[in-house]
């Protein structure tokens, strides 16, 4: 019974972390994509070419 409860707690914590940190990951990865790559389909979870152009534009 204790093992089942512990496993359930770990699974719930893992789910919570994915839900909480998923949007942060998405924002960071999207900021590293080029202009047109943001709108590509199917969705890419990592940019094909990492670029810092968005940050250059932000701090201009």
In-domain check, residue 25: yes
In-domain check, residue 40: yes
In-domain check, residue 14: no
- What confidence tens digit (pLDDT) does each residue in 18-59 have? 999 999 999 999 999 988 888 888 888 888 888 898 898 889
Q: How is the chain split among helix, strand and coil, in percent rounded to 5?
A: 65, 0, 35
32: buried, middle or exposed (CB in 10 Å: 19+, 13-18, 0-12)? Answer: middle
In-domain check, residue 4: no
In-domain check, residue 41: yes
Q: Is 38 in a helix, a strand, or coil?
A: helix
Q: Is 22 in a helix, a strand, or coil?
A: helix
Tokens at residue 18, please?
A: 């994915």
Question: Alpha-carbon distance 60 to 52, whole Å?
Answer: 13
In-domain check, residue 9: no
Q: pTM of the entire structure?
A: 0.70
Residue 42 belongs to what domain range?
A: 20-60
For residue 48, the model assigns a pLDDT of 83
In-domain check, residue 10: no
Q: How many domains does the chain have?
A: 1
């Amino acid at each position: 019974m204790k093992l089942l409860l512990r496993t359930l707690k770990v699974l719930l914590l893992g789910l919570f972390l994915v839900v909480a940190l998923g949007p942060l990951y998405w924002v960071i990865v999207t900021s590293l994509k080029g202009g047109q790559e943001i709108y590509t389909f199917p969705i890419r979870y990592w940019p094909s070419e990492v670029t810092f152009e968005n940050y250059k534009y932000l701090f201009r």
